[in-house]
Amino acid sequence: PTEEAGFAELTGPTGSTGPQESLLGPGSTAVAHPNIALIKYWGKRDEQLVIPYVDSLSMTLDVFPTHTTVRLDPEAQTDGVILDGRPAEGEPRRRVVVFLDLVRELAGRTERAAVDTRNAVPTGAGLASSASGFAALAVAATAAYGLDLDPTALSRLARRGSASASRSIFGGFALCHAGRGVGEAADLSSYAEPVPLPDFDPALVVALVNAGPKAVSSRAAMRRTVETSPLYQAWATSSKGDLTDMRAALLRGDLEAVGEIAERNALGMHATMLAARPAVRYLSPATVAVLDGVLQLRKDGVAAYATMDAGPNVKVLCHPEAAPRVAETLLAAAPGCSVLTARRGPGARLRTADEQ
């Protein structure tokens, strides 16, 4: 019952009318959760195949599920896409149709589909809606088209929708390989895999400072960064060292080291964006206020470390028993923000008939 927990009450109704009246079958429904990278992916070396420049490592959350239903519609001439209760248009619709084309090609089928997807997380706010969104779509669409893919193949497929989605196929911690070579070799070698850490179960306090959609999508922002930022290569190179250090810290279960590495990796990524021409700046005054709160916590002896994605919202890693104090401090530091504590969550899965 707590699975739906999120900021729904803050973001308001999405305008949906609930389950659609439909002559189509029940279709296939999948659930997936967003993930937050401790070592970030930023930049593609192949835009068409969605191949990252750098490896990344993330934690899948237990909050903000995306539910996606895909029904095949043999009568339809085009795909129907409902996102958060409204027909998707423009780029969001195009990304789903391109993804369905890929699934149809794999399945050797041609029917169009009706997609109905709903995010619990605010869409396009830097809280990884594209990760839960395309992980859920990968699971639901392959089931609807009768494909039976292993987790690696599902992860590779989800990557084609959004590279961060390759990691949301898995629960807990996941490592996404940037892959090697070009073309098919790159496509085959770029996927996520689980990083088993049964004893590492930190809290991630999400400080929501703005639920609105970002002005520049992650996709466009990373393209501009790669093309124009003189800092990009240096960050990509240092990210390799960050990943080596991160893996060792995770294996030791050393939350302080994990947090320090995650914070420096994220701030470095934002530095590359700030140096892009024109600059991409996602961090707002409220973001900086939350970061001040994190510094204050550390001064007061509380292990708390921040990471930010392509948006102004902040995620703070801490020991679970410190989460209430962290949440309280962040609220005081940035009045008007709202906080929610997440833990490690499950991988993407098909929803069973009795859950419908």
Indicate whether 130 belongs to the interface with ligand DP6 (CB under 6 A): yes
Characterize the bridge pairing of strands 112-119 and 80-83.
Answer: parallel
Among 83, 141, 236, 280, binds ligand ADP (CB under 6 A): 83
Q: Which of helix, strand or coil describes residue 81?
A: strand
Indicate whether 258 belongs to the interface with ligand DP6 (CB under 6 A): no
Q: Which is nearer to ligand DP6, 60 or 329 (CB)?
A: 60
Q: How far is the CB of 309 from ligand DP6 (least distance, A)?
A: 4
Indicate whether 92 belongs to the interface with ligand ADP (CB under 6 A): yes
Residue 60 has which token pair?
A: 């899948």
129-144 helix and 90-107 helix, angle to the nearest 10 degrees? 40
User: Measured between alpha carbons, how far is residue 28 from residues 53, 61, 72, 290 in Å?
Assistant: 33, 23, 9, 40
Q: How many residues bind Co ion (CB under 5 A)?
A: 2
Q: How far is the CB of 131 from ligand DP6 (least distance, A)?
A: 6
- Residue labelled with tokens 């892009």: 276
Q: Which of helix, strand or coil describes residue 315?
A: strand
User: Measured between alpha carbons, how far is residue 299 from residues 146, 153, 249, 294, 302 in Å?
Assistant: 55, 45, 22, 9, 7
Contact region with Co ion (CB under 5 A), list: 8-16, 141-149, 215-223, 337-345 = 215-223
Give the residue from 330, 196, 314 showing the smallest Cα distance to 259. 314
Indicate whether 168 belongs to the interface with Co ion (CB under 5 A): no
Exposure on the CB side of residue 241, measured as CA atoms within 13 A: 6
- Print burial letters for 170-198: b (CB count within 10 Å at least 16), e (below 16): bbbbbbbbbbeeeeeebbeebbbbbbeee
Binding pattern for the stretch 206-245 against ligand ADP, x by CB under 6 A and - elsewhere: -----------xx---------------------------
Q: Position 52: which residue type? A: P
Contact region with ligand ADP (CB under 6 A), list: 124-132, 252-260, 265-273, 335-343 = 124-132
Q: How far is the CB of 42 from ligand DP6 (least distance, A)?
A: 6
Q: How far is the CB of 26 from Co ion (least distance, A)?
A: 29
224 binds, among Co ion, ligand DP6, ligand ADP, none (CB under 5 to 8 A by kind): none
Q: How far is the CB of 134 from Co ion (least distance, A)?
A: 9
Indicate whether 218 belongs to the interface with ligand DP6 (CB under 6 A): yes
Q: How far is the CB of 42 from ligand ADP (least distance, A)?
A: 11
Q: Which is nearer to ligand ADP, 92 or 346 (CB)?
A: 92
- Give, as one character, the DSSP assignment of residue 195: E
Q: Restricting to residues 124-153, name those near Co ion by CB under 5 A.
A: 130
Indicate whether 40 belongs to the interface with ligand DP6 (CB under 6 A): yes
> In the sheet that 80-83 helps form, which strands lie side by side, from edge to edge?
86-87, 80-83, 112-119, 66-73, 28-32, 349-350
| Contact footprint for ligand DP6 (CB under 6 A) | 37, 40-42, 50, 56, 130, 162-164, 218-219, 309-310
